[in-house]
Amino acid sequence: MKTVRTIAELRAELGNARAAGARSVGFVPTMGALHRGHLSLVDASHAENDVVVLSIFVNPTQFTEASDLAAYPRQEAADAALAEEAGVDLIFAPSAAEMYPAGFATTVRVTGPLTETLEGAGRGDAHFDGMATVVSKLLLAVQPDAAYFGQKDAQQLLVVQRMVADLGIPARIVACPTARDSDGLALSSRNVRLSAAERERALGIPRALERVAAQLAAGEHGVSELRNTAVDVLAAAGIEPEYLAFVSPTDLTPVTVVTDAVLCAVAARVGEVRLIDNAVLNPATAGEKE
């Protein structure tokens, strides 16, 4: 495994790999602080491609709070060890100056409900502008056949899919299931900032999603009733959501009755840590056991 810092080095290494017979390149973009969720994306990429590239870049332009950027964990040496063990072939770990050189003046913006609701409503235009800009730059730098994203960041996934389709970027965007700890908490680099007591409280988030799914399976399809159930579960854990939304999983338009697949998305602070999670609810399979 190699680590490269510049786009020129990245392209040279990938050019050599393709010249040596590599037929496909898979890409996993990350901000580091790797956990099993990231490694599950690496596994998915490894299963479908000859070469796996993983990026580590804490993108400053998508943070709306300076304190969140400053607190974001950075552990490149540990990340590199995990990536190598998982089978990553190439790490791209650029500096901010490499990604945003002097005179940089371009922003990639996806407009409409995909970026104006949920995370966009709370974090402002800058968040998704920053994410879309850096992901487009990374995709153009790596030029992968496929890029792998987790369903936990459902809105981000939709924005990336829209951007790639609109700009004609020749990369397949692969959605991978949310990875969870054994207690049900969605894996996140921010989880390490939770105290033991806060982590116990945070379990109210997946429990609320589970309770809503169970209520749907029992025959309740009204969103107001499902939402009340989720709010009660969160309140029992001392959590007040920033948002708790039932929306279309394809365009994020609000839903009032669950007659087809619906995305239930939640964001909440537990202590100083902001967490997000979601579940796709489908009445057609709500009563089925996995």
- Considering 38, 46, 127, 221, which one is annotated as catalytic? 38
> Does the annotation list 215 as a binding residue?
no
CA-to-CA distance for 75 and 80, rounded, in angstroms? 9
> Does the annotation list 193 as a binding residue?
no
> Does the annotation list 187 as a binding residue?
yes
Contact 121/143 with Cβ under 8 angstroms? no
> At CA 140, angle to CA 176 and CA 13, rounded to 5?
95
> Does the annotation list 79 as a binding residue?
no
CA-to-CA distance for 128 and 115, rounded, in angstroms? 6
> Does the annotation list 24 as a binding residue?
no
Catalytic residue list contains 127: no
Q: CA 85, 86, 87, 89 torsion: positive or negative?
A: negative
- Within the chain, residue ranges assigned H as helices are 7-19, 36-48, 66-71, 76-86, 96-99, 113-116, 119-123, 125-142, 154-167, 196-202, 204-217, 223-236
> Does the annotation list 1 as a binding residue?
no
Based on its alpha-carbon atoms, the radius of gyration of the chain, rounded to whole angstroms, reads 19
> Does the annotation list 131 as a binding residue?
no
> Does the annotation list 32 as a binding residue?
yes
Give the number of C-alpha atoms closer than 13 A to the C-alpha of residue 151, restricted to the C-beta side: 14
> Does the annotation list 219 as a binding residue?
no
> Does the annotation list 151 as a binding residue?
yes
> Does the annotation list 207 as a binding residue?
no
Contact 262/242 with Cβ under 8 angstroms? no
Binding residues for beta-alanine: 62
Binding residues for ATP: 31-38, 150-153, 179, 187-190
Residues designated as active site: 38
Binding residues for (R)-pantoate: 62, 156
